[in-house]
Structure 1
């Protein structure tokens, strides 16, 4: 029998009502295995139109659903922390407000949770406006040894695809804001703590690549966040000194190149890393 699980979906003021509706319906109504509850974290006030959609989705959801309304915008890391605390079940599935979950997503991932895994990710397909038009595919590393090696260089999980045990997240210290890399820092600590983790190579989520997606990954602020992250990874001895130096040079340099180069480099680096395991 499949263990009950919660769907955790954060929403904030800039989210699009139509995209939110599509995300919610794909992750609830259209799933072969539906979540047992939905917790929507409203990260601060939202425009009236978005609030109307939120209210309608909760009222018409085929499973119990509620909105956790935070009075001010606190950012993704803290919003997810608040949402995790509000979930009724230990198993929690993540979903973003502008992505699309494929119908087999939860039935495939919960099967692995049932086998004893604490953290399960999956591949994803990238699109811009039309979800039927795929512009890229991200296939994560598969197998615990490969995941462990690759994690020394890059986040081995596609964050919008993960299902995890809340208790394992808490034991690792939960979400901590580190630029746009709070998920990488969390997953590194979970792996370092010895959780059982796996990825499904097949794409189970369609990921919306919005305007400015690659621009946000660059700049001096992200370089500082990158250096901070590498120091944190080194502090817990998740990486070796050699790996830390490499990461600052490669990942840090990536933050400063022009956006067009950053976009091309991102795909090259993650695919090369998936093949090699980024073990050096």
Structure 2
């Protein structure tokens, strides 16, 4: 089973983090057949130098965009260039565990009805060994389809999906920080079959900025649009929509330190040192 890896890099990416991410993909026990790398707009010379280092690799398909178009649009562009039936997502500052793709492709081969497969993640601060939290998501299709009514049931940087299934629902559509969740909801509507592995597949780099990005009116506006979509397609009722929006209003309008506490208390399992 051949598969592509889809990545998008932009001007604010740290060159060292990007290189570490690429090496973790290339060093897999089951290497990808193709890496589609989208450059979302112009980047600093220091980052371009690292990008250029990988362009001689025959499995790297480079898609440079002259203007920054945002993550959702950049991923959609890359998706058009992916050659294989299965596409794995990877962020350009995170680290795949060495056997990530081997585990996922084996599962998909044994479970051909599954349209999208994710897994668990560890979050680390600065050093890879400094794991501060786990984000666990449900594994079974039924559990995922219940969880999605309230929260995002996938760790985006861990997923592998069937390309044609995603294209059939419109691919990624720009929605401030919620492009992935919106796509999962449209896949839910299409009747897609979901699964997550119980294994940690990706180490995710985090910082204080993570919690800042999860606040503000623009983020809440995205949630309003998403909850309206969920209700419109019959995923949730009016009561559930109201409850979800109340939770998201508090999340997006509280001080950063309160938001950090809430995420670590409800959405993640903090690792005690």
Distance in 2 (CA, whole Å) between partners of 1:210 and 1:42 is: 23
In structure 2, the residue matched to 1:19 is 17
1:271 is displaced (CA, Å) by 5.4
5+ long unaligned stretches in structure 2: none
SS of the residue corresponding to residue 74 of structure 1 reads coil
Corresponding residue to 2:29 among 27, 32, 36: 32
In structure 2, the residue matched to 1:58 is 55
5+ long unaligned stretches in structure 1: 273-280
In structure 2, the residue matched to 1:103 is 98
Equivalenced residues, count: 267
8 Å CA contact 2:124, 2:205 repeated in 1:
yes
Distance in 2 (CA, whole Å) between partners of 1:271 and 1:100 is: 19
After superposition, what is the alpha-carbon deviation per residue over 1:165-222, rounded to whole angstroms, capped at 9, x for unaligned? 1111112221112211110010011122111110012111000013411101101221
SS of the residue corresponding to residue 202 of structure 2 reads strand
Asked if 1:45 corresponds to 2:42, the answer is yes
8 Å CA contact 2:122, 2:200 repeated in 1:
yes
In structure 2, the residue matched to 1:80 is 75
Quote the RMSD (CA, aligned, Å): 1.3
Distance in 1 (CA, whole Å) between partners of 2:158 and 2:38 is: 17
In structure 2, the residue matched to 1:190 is 187
TM-score (norm 2): 0.95
1:150 is displaced (CA, Å) by 0.3
Distance in 2 (CA, whole Å) between partners of 1:249 and 1:256 is: 11
Q: CA 1:269–1:192 in structure 2 vs 1: closer, same or farther (change >3 Å)? A: farther
Corresponding residue to 1:171 among 168, 172, 175: 168
1:268 is displaced (CA, Å) by 2.6
SS of the residue corresponding to residue 195 of structure 2 reads strand
Moved over 3 A (4+): none
SS of the residue corresponding to residue 42 of structure 1 reads strand
Corresponding residue to 2:254 among 240, 253, 257: 257
8 Å CA contact 2:133, 2:268 repeated in 1:
no
1:270 is displaced (CA, Å) by 2.5
In structure 2, the residue matched to 1:129 is 126
